[in-house]
Amino acid sequence: MKILEVKSLALPEVKVIRYARFSDERGYFTESYQMKEFASHEQLAPIFTNRPMVQLNENYSKPKTVRGLHSQWTPKQNKLVRTIWGRMVDVVVDIRPNSANFGRGIMYDMPADPTADFGELIWVPFGFAHGNYYTVESKIEYLVDTPWGGTEGEGGISPLSPNIDWDMCEPHLLAEYKDILGASPLLAPKDRDGMSLETWKNSDIAKTHFTS
């Protein structure tokens, strides 16, 4: 695996990892994750040393789907996400009550482009609610470092929560997100009815699991 770049987003704990593809007239080959390479990379070693990824998840989404904003705390779960085909816009919100960035959200556009000479992964650590939205049929996959712990150890913030601060987002992505949310999105009831940010901040879950 050849890692080309690791960059921090506006929420600096969230990273985008760009890796090389090796192309010829047939198409390309790439390693999208290599445990040893991640654990030995200068910027990634503090995150991935002694943190094996133990489960690979996949989902398919139709246009106008909004997923999230999710977090798993029993056990605590970190995610490494990529788009296989289509277009995913990843959405991340800091939900740590004692964080200076609490309640702030970012978006990152991750279309699949088989002609590009690189691929991308986004690292979403524990302490951040994670979701995405889709404008075309899409498939994504994500590695996690702990197995699913059941519904009692997961939950999240409704994407409709009025208290999320989106000021760090690129305006065109935020406008697209709001347009989808305002026009009968494909949204799971548990996500639509998720906590508001204010309710989350005052919850026992946030105080117990998300405050250091």
Give, as one character, the DSSP assignment of residue 163: T
Distance CA 51, CA 63 (A): 34
Query: Percent helix, strand and coil across the chain, each rounded to 5?
Result: 20, 40, 40
- DSSP letter at 175 equals H
* 70 carries an active-site annotation: yes
Q: Exactly one of 70, 130, 133, 177 is catalytic; which is it? A: 70
Rounded CA gap, 173 and 107, in Å?
A: 7
Alpha-carbon distance of 144 to 142, in angstroms, equals: 7
Looking at residue 149, what is its pLDDT? Answer: 87
**Residue pLDDT tens, the chain, 212 long:** 999 999 999 999 999 999 999 999 999 999 999 999 999 999 999 999 999 999 999 999 999 999 999 999 999 999 999 999 999 999 999 999 999 999 999 999 999 999 999 999 999 999 999 999 999 999 999 999 999 888 889 999 999 999 999 999 999 999 999 999 999 999 999 999 999 999 999 999 999 999 87
User: Can you tell me which residue has the tokens 């901040």?
Assistant: 201
**pLDDT, position 8:** 98
Domains of the chain are 53-209 (2.60.120.10)
The structure tokens 């702990």 sit at: 146
pLDDT at residue number 151: 86
Question: Are 110 and 120 within 8 A, CB to CB?
Answer: yes
The catalytically annotated residue of 19, 33, 108, 142 is 142
Active site residue 60: no
